Structure 1
Amino acid sequence: MSSRTTISRITAIGGLSTAVLLAATACGAGGPAATSGSAASTVNVLVEAGGHAELTGVAEQCKKDTGVSANFVELPYDGMFNRLSSEFSSGNVSFDVAALDSVWLPSFKDAVQPIDELFTDEAKKDIFPALVKEANVDGHFIGMPAWTNAEIILYRKDLFDDAKNKAEFKAKYGYDLAAPTTWKQYQDISEFFTKDGMYGTDVKGGVETEWLAHVLQAGSPMVLDENNNVVIDNAAHKDALDFYTSLVKSAPPGAAQVDWAAAQNLFNQGKTAMTRFWAHAYRQIPKDSPVAGKVGAAPMIGGSAGVAGVPGPWYLSVPKATKNSDAAKKFIKCAYDHNDLGIESSLGLASRISAFEKYQDKPGYESFKPLIETLKGQATATRPATAKWQQIVDTALVPMLQKAVAGGDSATLLAAAKKQIQDLLK
């Protein structure tokens, strides 16, 4: 997910407000100073608003298993980043464990300690490959993934299963109407359902992640290659952008301003037949929604490189400055051992493959198999490991997308974005 649309954002668009979460958190935004001594039995855990709910079950189990208690400190996204930056710079931290957005790892890599011992061969086999790769920075594992997500396809089963729609679609396009697996199928189905006051899909000009997933599907790394060269103007980026903007004619007007919340509302209100959206949203469809009980889930579509998505993980890390490392690592191991408990939370996510598999065949969790397939996709990759990533998103990628969906020339816009990003990285 965009690093500004993570826990508090997605719980809010699912109907759970950050205010409620903060009101329910005893420790608020302050929290005591870190406990000194390796034998301390309480760890202070710094999380974004919403993270406490995700980790409550883990904390309770950890207390039973190890005697280590957790005191949660919740902060809004920007406030948390600022708190981390300030305390890491000072060398005096008030927390023993921090939940880090994946895009923060490059910024804070020198302030957190290796937890290589937790990444056993068995553990690495049960974590999605893209997350194992991202957690390893400069040869050491510095964060254990606590939960992750990715975009999949949500579609209206009732419309796809309708006999009249099936017959008309096959007559027009020459193949059976079913959940799309390719760009072309997604275009055809979007076009087909754009009628009678409905749109086939949405186009999100206000966020970058979805377009970047299509870049991966087209066979290119996102924006930067492994040597940090800016490749945003290559053929794959242009193909992905052309595909993305081709859907504007099958989407509601005002695409330049559509973000995650707007797209989710459009789908839940029955305005769109399909959406590429984060898998957690399947379980957050309101019971009084006109589409409740009528939604199917499928893996993210694929391009020439196959199915691919951009994961949205958060990692649990231990600051070098804590005096409570042993207890902190025990807590993180508990979080890994009991990772499936997060699925019972309001956010409803995990990071271990086995945790998702445990629930994938249960009613109400039909989005998990598509999520697993998407996260296992060979082309699936996390965002570029640069401390400038959020700046690149805010100043180059989103403005470029907004101009593109409004009719701008793809090649011209990508070339301009390349120069802008190169200047940012100087």
Structure 2
Amino acid sequence: MFVALGFLLGLVALSSVMPIVDGTMLPSFLPLLAAIGLVLVAVRLPPAEASRFGALVKPLVIGAAIPALWILFQMAPVPAGLAHPVWASVKAGFPSPVSGSITVDIGATAMALVSYLTLVGAILLATAVTINRDRAEIVLITLTGATTLLSIGLLATSIFGMAHPAAREELLDCACLGVILASACACFVYERHETRRAKLGYGDARFVYPLLASLAAFLISATAVAISRSGSVIFAACCGVGLFGAVFLVRRLSLGRWGAGAIGLTASVIVIALISGAAGTASDPRLAFVRKDPATVELTQRILADAPFFGDGAGAFSSILPIYQFGDDGAQERKAVTAAAKLSIEMGRTMLWAAVIVAGLAVVLFLRASAKRGRDSFYAATAASCIVSLIALAFINTGLFGPTLPVLSAVIIGLGLAQSQGRNAA
């Protein structure tokens, strides 16, 4: 299983360098690493871990099949009433009948399906590898190190300038996750010091230095978020780290259900008030928290208004973009202003809100699992906190559609899922 662990860490490392290293071939190695890792898991996973793995991922596999089937449905030939209107004009150029589909670009949608299955594979691989507590610790430390290095890269590019705003958005989102992961590492160091000092007689040096490293990682990531001067991004990071801190305090202070409920109610009121104030009079939540140039926002609004119920096709946003550009708009790089807007355009509004609801349910389940766990409760709490930040970030920028953030998020979810139950519970 240590070879499978190597492939998982390689997946994290490769995805982490893609925002910085300009390589068109690098993303093609992500499915390969995930596939080889899953093959090794199928061959090497011990029977006891295999049975536990099957019980953990069964609901995940069933739920993950729905978006995959939706994307396949978008690519399949459909009646003229369901096909995208663009196919009506395409048929005139062919001598024989052409079957239309929901997507406007079947090739782009097929590649989007590959990317989606890669993320599902990353979750499964991370879950299988991190069922073992020792391997889970290695993956948590690696994730924290990766997000810290990305935060350092963001700080460096903020000082010297960056030519790719999309990459900067993704680095900023990774820094938000880095704040949460660094907090989880500090919690991990503290709890392991409590348990292992009594059993194995560990000295203070093995506690102080890792704790200082965790605090340094926290400060680096928090500084990277702060220098963005984006209230929305800072809010997303605070939501995640605030939830993790609340879970830690409830457990350490033994506040129980009533204490947790009081904290949750107070935090919910504050969050709702802040969201309402930030949204102002905006009626569309997919664009309410965007502070970008009006031309790009107006372009996204036009595409959203014309998006059909089943969407324009996963990954097909760049294919329909030229239809809506005016004059010299083609001279500038235009894109969807938020991940929520892009998902709504490509997959349909129904799929967007279904994804938000499923993510919210995942947060509740991870928090419930964290409450039932003992010394390893911070894994599930980390996954829940990161999902909360990701939900907020989806309505702020397009980082969720970058090459790095989805992979790191998938590994974090797999880690939290693997450690959501103890061996006795399994």
Same fold (TM over 0.5): no
Bin for the TM-score computed over the shorter chain: under 0.3
Structure having the higher helix fraction is 2
- Considering Cα pairs closer than 8 Å and 6+ residues apart, tell me whether 1 or 2 has the greater RCO: 1
Give TM-score scaled by structure 1 length: 0.23
